């Protein structure tokens, strides 16, 4: 007998933080995610690599339902993603996402950018939201910029605000889609340092990145995608030193040679 409200598996095992089963996604005739199977335990840092167009961003976007899927199931912390409505908004708040472009509200201060979500979606009181936002801004090294507007900050600072804003919702999972790709080289490390600290604190993270040093240092696991499939799923050391598939060898040959 099953109870609809009880998502605990029968075998008593802890549910994965992210679970994707037989996930398929098409855009018209283009099959962009092909039978994706992925179980990410709590606290794991998963690096997603693969050539352009292989489906990395789409994978991220399906996990917080920015993109609907055609078939299969996705669950966060044992709860299947609801189709729409209030339950979806709440579950989406459990999944923080940071994109290549910072997407801050230009007409709001840094502090307002970080408090808006908790106040509107999580129904946190304004004073509590402010206290928490200042703590988070301090953690990402920009507490002294709280009253400025996004345009007054560097790209690296804006991206750190975007991370603080996502964390302010108290997410269980953080998704990063090429968070440093739009940054000038000297700002990349300040963002990667914040992400490394977050990983050490035990956040469950899925990170699409071209920063191979970070992938090797901070990743627990590498997924290599090609043509909408997870072609390799292994630990970073094995992936970088002993890739199995020709597609991964070809990819590594291209990126490691420049």
Q: For binding to ligand ATP (CB under 6 A), which residues are involved? A: 27, 30, 32, 50, 52-58
**CB nearest Mg ion: which residue?**
57
54 binds, among ligand ATP, Mg ion, none (CB under 5 to 8 A by kind): ligand ATP
Binding at 32: pick from Mg ion, ligand ATP, none (beta carbon under 5-8 Å per type): ligand ATP
Shortest spacing between CB 49 and ligand ATP, in angstroms: 9
Q: Which of residues 129-168 bind Mg ion (CB under 5 A)?
A: none
Nearer to ligand ATP, 100 or 189 (CB): 100
CB of 111 to ligand ATP, least distance (A): 31
Shortest distance, CB of residue 27 to ligand ATP, whole angstroms?
Answer: 3
How many residues of this chain bind Mg ion (CB under 5 A)? 1
Instruction: Work out how close the CB of 143 gets to Mg ion at its nearest, in angstroms, rounded to a whole number.
Output: 31
Counting other chains too, the contacts that 219-223 makes at CB distance below 8 Å and 24 or more residues apart are 219/45, 219/46, 219/47, 220/44, 220/45, 220/46, 221/44, 221/45, 221/46, 221/47, 222/46, 222/47, 222/48, 222/49, 223/38, 223/46, 223/47, 223/48, 223/49, 223/50
Mask: binding to Mg ion, 81-120, rule CB under 5 A, as x and -? ----------------------------------------
Closest CA to 183 of 161, 154, 212, 207: 154
Listed in sequence order, the residues at least 6 apart from 38 whose beta carbon sits closer than 8 Å to its beta carbon are: 18, 19, 20, 223, 230
Q: Of ligand ATP, Mg ion, none, which one does residue 105 interact with (CB within 5 to 8 Å by kind)?
A: none
Based on CB atoms, which residue is closest to Mg ion, 57 or 64?
A: 57
* Residue 225 Cβ vs ligand ATP, minimum distance, rounded to whole Å: 7
Q: Which two tokens stand for residue 141?
A: 């090294």
The token pair that represents 45 in the structure block:
């840092």
What minimum distance in Å lies between the beta carbon of 57 and Mg ion? Answer: 3
Per CB under 5 A, which of residues 24..63 are in contact with Mg ion? Answer: 57
Strand partners for 74: 20
- Spatial separation of the C-alpha atoms in residues 199 and 252, rounded to whole Å: 24
CB of 250 to ligand ATP, least distance (A): 15
Strand partners, 30: 27
Please state whether beta strands 95-98 and 18-27 pair in parallel, antiparallel, or not at all (unpaired): unpaired
Q: Please choose, from the candidates 173, 170, 209, the residue with its C-alpha nearest in 3D space to the C-alpha of residue 39.
A: 173
- For 254, other C-beta atoms within 10 Å of its C-beta total 10
Whichever of 61 and 130 has its CB closer to ligand ATP, that residue is 61
Q: Which is nearer to ligand ATP, 68 or 253 (CB)?
A: 68
> Is the Cβ of residue 124 or residue 230 nearer to ligand ATP in the bound state?
230
Binding site for Mg ion (CB under 5 A): 57
């Amino acid at each position: 007998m099953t109870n609809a409200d009880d998502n605990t598996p029968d075998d008593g095992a802890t549910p994965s933080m992210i679970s994707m089963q037989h996930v398929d996604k098409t855009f018209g005739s283009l099959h962009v995610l092909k039978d994706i199977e992925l179980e990410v335990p709590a606290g794991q840092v998963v690096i997603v690599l693969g050539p352009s167009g292989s489906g990395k961003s789409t994978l991220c976007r399906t996990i917080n339902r920015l993109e609907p899927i055609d078939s299969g199931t996705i669950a966060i912390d044992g709860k299947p993603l609801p189709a729409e409505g209030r339950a979806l908004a709440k579950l989406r708040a459990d999944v923080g996402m940071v994109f290549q472009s910072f997407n801050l509200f230009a007409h709001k201060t840094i502090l307002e950018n970080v408090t808006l979500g908790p106040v509107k979606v999580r129904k946190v009181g304004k004073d509590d939201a402010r206290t928490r936002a200042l703590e988070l801004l301090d953690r990402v090294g920009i507490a002294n910029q709280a009253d400025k507007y996004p345009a007054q900050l560097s790209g690296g600072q804006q991206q750190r605000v975007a991370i603080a804003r996502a964390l302010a919702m108290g997410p269980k999972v953080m998704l990063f889609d090429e968070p440093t790709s739009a940054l000038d080289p000297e700002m990349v490390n300040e963002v990667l340092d914040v992400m490394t600290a977050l990983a050490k604190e035990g956040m469950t993270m899925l990170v699409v990145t071209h920063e191979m040093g970070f992938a090797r240092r901070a990743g627990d696991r590498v997924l290599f995608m090609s043509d909408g499939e997870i072609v390799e799923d292994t630990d970073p050391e094995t992936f970088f030193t002993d890739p199995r598939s020709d597609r991964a060898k070809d990819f590594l040959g291209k990126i490691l040679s420049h």
